[in-house]
Amino acid sequence: MNISFKNSEEYYARAKEIIPGGVNSPVRAFNSIKLDPIFIERGEGPYLYDVDKNKYIDYVCSWGPLILGHRHPEVIEALTESLQKGTGFGAPTDSETKLVQEIIDAVPSIEMARLVSSGTEATMSALRLARGYTGRNKIVKFEGCYHGHVDSLLIKAGSGALTNGVPTSPGVPSSIAEDTIVLTYNDIEKYRELFYNQGSEIAAVIVEPVAGNMGVIPPEPGFLENLRKITLQYGSILIFDEVMTGFRVAYGGAQELYGIEPDLTCLGKIIGGGLPVGAYGGKKKIMEYISPSGPVYQAGTLAGNPITVKSGLATLNVLKRKNIYEQLNKKASRLAKGIQDAAQESEYNISINRVGSMLCTYFTDQQVIDFSSANNSNIQAFLNYITLMLKQGIYMAPSQFEAAFISLQHDEEHIEKTVAAAKKAFKKLKK
Ligand SMILES: *Cc1c(COP(=O)(O)O)cnc(C)c1O
């Protein structure tokens, strides 16, 4: 298939003169596959249409939020109705309370929540709250988990996991990095040792209960259980960052799926139905520590925006219906098996990790259980595969460290087309 990116190339040339890298979030750049980013004109159901009239089956789904696909009629209807009333008031609306009530009804550990405007704000605020509440400074995160671009969370481990954090990004002061301890995902021994030595100084442990920002890595049996047990022992706050997994891996998120309740939970993505959003919530006695009922300050001019809230409510309303997650999981399972079989046909070793409707293909015959096993897979082969898929009209993130998402509007036909494209891609790769 010969596809042209002429208009995208022209738009990109203009954008990169005045926007750093030509994009408003680095993941949108296609540097990894040596292409210019594709500029999008519109989305419809499972499809993206670019400015060169190419059509793609979309597995990025706006990086997770669009679990109902593009322009779901009920979301569009809610948005249209909401627009008639105004775009925001900087004063409370009852819809905000309704959305928070839906979140409380869905997510087992949340008794009270605050709406914010992005996932980054949710994790940043949850950390501040945990520190304010415990009066401690140190936090623990896991290598390869992404929690937004908060200074103290933008840290990845050096080789010694227990040494103090080194900033991953210039601009993060080492004085901030010092309070962030980075451990290996799924490694409970080091975690136990750390708490044994410094447990009384640790304000919070933050984790993606299913890691979705180093591909997809499920928690091994006992991992989340031990995070919960040991934080309780030492009076530290356990924060589940469910910005991606909330309303994705199950209606009540990973905490419903695995039956572990954190103290605080961060949400985002799906709860805004495609509009900018975030939320954090948890035990009432902790949440009441937030201003104006408590001393920890956190605010947002556009937080709980009425249009976002309506879009979120309409989305959750669809997701609440019977068998929605069974359908999503069945499709994702079919896709995973199809890609696995396609690889096998060409005698390619791949390993697919899937939890619910998020999945990731790694070019390795090893099990991927943490950042280093993800990073040790054949990333160049993966990127070649993604490029071959893109050229057949299959839009997947050009990064080994991102998940592919299934939406309600991917049906059998789209999955089969994708599997057929994968077959061709693996054959070509083999040559
Ligand atoms: C996307 C994401 C964030 C950041 O959310 P933004 O809305 O991009 O700020 C935080 N945590 C996780 C797990 C995410 O997937």
Per-residue pLDDT tens for 307-364? 999 999 999 999 999 999 999 999 999 999 999 999 999 999 999 999 999 999 999 9
d(CA 372, CA 151): 23
pLDDT of 385 above 80: yes
Q: What are the tens digits of pLDDT across the range 234-284?
A: 999 999 999 999 999 999 999 999 999 999 999 999 999 999 999 999 999
How does residue 1 score in pLDDT terms, banded at 50, 70 and 90? low
Residues counted in the chain: 431
The pLDDT assigned to 428 comes to 96
Q: What is the pTM of this model?
A: 0.96
Structural contact between residues 222 and 232, judged by C-beta atoms closer than 8 angstroms: no
Q: What are the tens digits of pLDDT across the range 60-91?
A: 999 999 999 999 999 999 999 999 999 999 99
Lowest-pLDDT choice from 140-144, 175-179, 224-228 = 175-179
The pLDDT assigned to 4 comes to 87
243 lines ligand 1 (CB under 6 A): yes
291 CB neighbour count, 10 Å cutoff: 12
Q: Active-site residue 16, yes or no?
A: no
Q: What are the tens digits of pLDDT across the range 8-19?
A: 999 999 999 999
Count Cβ neighbours within 10 Å for each residue of 203-218 and write b for 16 or more, e otherwise: bbbbbbbbbbbbbbbb
Q: Which fold has domain 6-65+323-405+418-430?
A: Aspartate Aminotransferase, domain 1 (3.90.1150)
What sign for the dihedral angle of Cα 259, 262, 266, 271?
A: positive
What is the distance in A from the centroid of ligand 1 to the CA of 120? 6
Atom of ligand 1 nearest to the CA of 120: 9
For residue 175, with 0-12 CB atoms within 10 Å meaning exposed, 13-18 middle and 19 or more buried, which class applies? exposed
d(CA 208, CA 145): 6
Provide CATH code, domain 76-319.
3.40.640.10
What is the distance in A from the centroid of ligand 1 to the CA of 197? 31
Identify which of 38, 256, 270, 243 has the alpha carbon closest to the alpha carbon of residue 122: 243
Q: In what order do the strands lie in the sheet with 237-241?
A: 112-116, 278-282, 264-268, 237-241, 202-207, 138-142, 180-183
- Domain ranges in the chain are 6-65+323-405+418-430, 76-319
Mutate to test the pocket of ligand 1, among 243, 280, 401 (most ligand atoms within 8 A of CB): 243
The pLDDT assigned to 218 comes to 98
Q: What are the tens digits of pLDDT across the range 25-47?
A: 988 988 889 889 999 999 999 99
Question: Which residue out of 133, 146, 325, 348 is catalytically annotated?
Answer: 146
d(CA 404, CA 214): 12
- How many Cα atoms sit within 13 Å of 292 on the Cβ side? 1
Question: Which residue out of 141, 156, 269, 310 is catalytically annotated?
Answer: 269
The pLDDT assigned to 32 comes to 87
Q: What are the tens digits of pLDDT across the range 117-175?
A: 999 999 999 999 999 999 999 999 999 999 998 988 887 643 333 344 555 778 888 88
